[in-house]
Chain A
Amino acid sequence: KAGVTQTPRYLIKTRGQQVTLSCSPISGHRSVSWYQQTPGQGLQFLFEYFSETQRNKGNFPGRFSGRQFSNSRSEMNVSTLELGDSALYLCASSGTGTGEETQYFGPGTRLLVL
């Protein structure tokens, strides 16, 4: 099976712009989660989608949003970018998102905001 794929792998944006990141889960997986990784804050949960519905959300401002399509692919959007949004954004997929399930991570999208 192909793994979790994320596009693009690298992005450079300027403050005030918006950005959309894409995640394709492992075939058959219906749960997709997003995480932000920074040197200062570590790995932080952004949100989770299951069957096109957001089930869980972390403590991030409304500038961070996401959606999931009927084929389970997910996108996350960050509007009005700030310098502090520079990070590695990781998505993970699992079958149904229960606690015992293994989540499989993609390689990440590295976003640099100038």
Chain B
Amino acid sequence: GNSVTQMEGPVTLSEEAFLTINCTYTATGYPSLFWYVQYPGEGLQLLLKATKADDKGSNKGFEATYRKETTSFHLEKGSVQVSDSAVYFCALSGWASKIIFGSGTRLSIRP
């Protein structure tokens, strides 16, 4: 079945460091891929998405490229801020609104 694997956390970085959170997926067909972010005490917010191979999703300085050949959708940001501290979820779309989520990566940014 479809599944998502993302790197374990927690990840701790200093402000202005480069961020990569790895995500790979297994899927039949051509799912859409997403990164969601969850701030403490809140629900999920869509950070970015890509709907087909080689698409790049971007938002708030974050980027991820849909790589079909490596079945990956790694999240990157060139310079992180303290306000980026949150839990990040990689996800893919399934049939009838079902989203399959990875286990989440907790990111902490030190000032």
Contacts and interface: CB of A to CB of B under 8 A. Distances in A.
A75 interface: no
Interface residues of A, number: 26
Nearest to A6: B43
A64 interface: no
B98 A33 contact: yes
B97 A92 contact: yes
Given A43-B89, A48-B96, A50-B96, A102 B101 contact: no
B43 A56 contact: no
A103 interface: yes
Contacts of A58: 98
Nearest to A44: B101
Contact of B43 (A31, A50, A105): A105
Interface in B17-59: 31-32, 36, 42-46, 49, 51
A105 B89 CA distance: 13
A4 B93 CA distance: 20
Contacts of B36: 105
Chain A contact surface mostly: strand
Nearest to A50: B96
Nearest to B92: A99
Contacts of A104: 46
Across chains A and B, which 4 residue pairs bring their CB atoms closest together, nearest first?
A99-B93, A97-B97, A56-B96, A43-B101
11 contacts: A31-B97, A42-B102, A42-B104, A48-B97, A50-B96, A56-B96, A97-B96, A97-B97, A100-B32, A100-B93, A105-B45
Interface of A: 4, 31, 33, 35, 42-43, 45, 48, 50, 55-56, 58, 90, 92, 94, 97, 99-108
Given A35-B99, A45-B94, 18 more contacts: A4-B43, A31-B96, A33-B97, A43-B99, A45-B98, A45-B99, A45-B100, A48-B98, A55-B96, A55-B97, A56-B94, A58-B98, A92-B44, A92-B97, A99-B94, A103-B46, A103-B99, A106-B43
